Amino acid sequence: MLRTSFERWGEAGRARYQALLEAAVDQLVADPERVISLDRRDLAPGLRSVHLRHVGGGHGVKQPVHIIYYRKARASLVIVRVLHERMEASSHLRTVAARRRPPPDK
């Protein structure tokens, strides 16, 4: 995504998108369940998401198009995937859901 930003809008555009991503992660680390995030347990247990368009800070990105999928892990935050808003999340997060499923009863 940063490579695409660079190719389309040059170094300044890449830097703006990177600053937006970093701001989003900083906000999520400070408050993983912040009001701009969504509970995505429909995709995998403990999974949450936030669309970059909801991240404030005036980074100069007019129309962010990515969603961060993440989960809390003890004293940290795990970024699971960053997907374009047009991508079908369930097909790209299947392996995440499979890893988090409890083993079947014997």
Q: What pLDDT, in 10s, does the model give residues 6-46? A: 898 899 999 999 999 999 999 999 999 988 899 999 999 99
Q: Which two tokens stand for residue 28?
A: 């999520």
**pLDDT at res. 62:** 85
**pTM > 0.75: yes or no:** yes
The helix (run of H) or strand (run of E) holding residue 17 is helix 2-30
> Whole-angstrom distance between the N-terminal and C-terminal Cα of the chain?
44
CB 69 within 8 A of CB 81: yes
The CATH number given to 2-100 is 3.30.2310.20
**pLDDT at res. 24:** 93
Q: 93, exposed or middle or buried, with CB in 10 Å at 0-12, 13-18, 19+?
A: buried
Q: What is the DSSP letter of 76?
A: E
Separation of alpha carbons 77 and 25, rounded Å: 9
